Each structure stands twice: as structure tokens, then as C-alpha cells.
């Protein structure tokens, strides 16, 4: 999320040098995006109901931690490895020696 905001901060600096797509492609993109929106909205019309026994403490940080560290322990460790390799990869890619 911080990355998102940083990117937002950078974007206003070079607004004038941005090329845009041709008009036909723009219209086609608007139409297809609107159609996707309508289709997704129309799928709501059939109605959906969630009737489950509500556990009123599901969102508490205590239960989240319990679920994260018991049921999803292996994915948690796997994402740690993924993140470490991502850091290494990003630094390797942007290094300026070659």
C-alpha cells in the first residue's frame, strides 16, 4: 500500500509526456469494461444467501493468528521464502553494474 502511494506521488511529475491509445481502442476498451461490469452486476440478480452459523469472533486478531499459525503454517513459511527471493531478485535486477 505504501508502494502504491509512492507510485501515486511520482505520477504527477511526468504527466505531459504520456502517449495515449487510438480512439477506436479506447472506445472498445470502455465498451468491454462496461459490459464486464454489467455482467458481474447481473450475476447478483439471482440472489445469494449465506446462512452459516456465525462465529462472532472470527475477525479478532487472536483467532486470525490461531488460524494463520496452525492451519496455514506451511503457506506462511512458503511466502516467507517467496518474499526473501523477491527481495534478492529485485535488488539483482536493478543493480547497475552491467
Partner 1 sequence: MNDITSAVQVVPLNYYIVLSIVLFSIGVMGMLLRRNAIIAFMSIELMLNAVNLLMVAFSSFRGDSSGQVFVFFIMVVAAAEVAIGLAILTMVHRKSGSIDINSLNQLKW
Q: By the criterion CB under 8 A, which residues form the site for partner 1?
A: 3-4, 7-8, 10-11, 18-21, 26, 29-30, 32-34, 36-37, 40-41, 44, 48, 50, 52-60, 63-64, 67-68, 71-72, 75, 79, 82-83, 86-87, 89-90, 93-94
Compute the distance between CA of residue 98 and CA of residue 94 in angstroms, rounded to an integer: 10
The secondary structure of the chain in percent helix, strand, coil, rounded to multiples of 5, reads 65, 0, 35
Q: How far is the CB of 21 from partner 1 (least distance, A)?
A: 6
Q: How far is the CB of 57 from partner 1 (least distance, A)?
A: 7
The 10 Å Cβ neighbour count of residue 68 is 13
Amino acid at each position: 500500500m505504501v508502494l502504491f502511494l509512492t507510485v501515486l506521488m511520482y505520477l504527477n511529475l511526468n504527466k505531459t509526456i504520456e502517449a495515449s491509445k487510438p480512439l477506436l481502442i479506447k472506445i472498445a476498451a470502455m465498451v468491454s469494461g462496461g459490459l464486464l461490469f454489467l455482467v458481474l452486476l447481473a450475476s447478483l440478480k439471482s440472489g445469494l444467501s449465506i446462512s452459516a452459523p456465525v462465529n462472532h469472533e472470527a475477525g479478532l486478531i487472536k483467532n486470525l493468528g490461531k488460524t494463520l499459525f496452525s492451519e496455514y503454517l506451511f503457506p506462511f513459511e512458503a511466502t516467507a521464502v517467496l518474499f526473501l527471493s523477491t527481495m534478492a531478485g529485485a535488488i539483482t535486477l536493478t543493480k547497475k553494474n552491467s
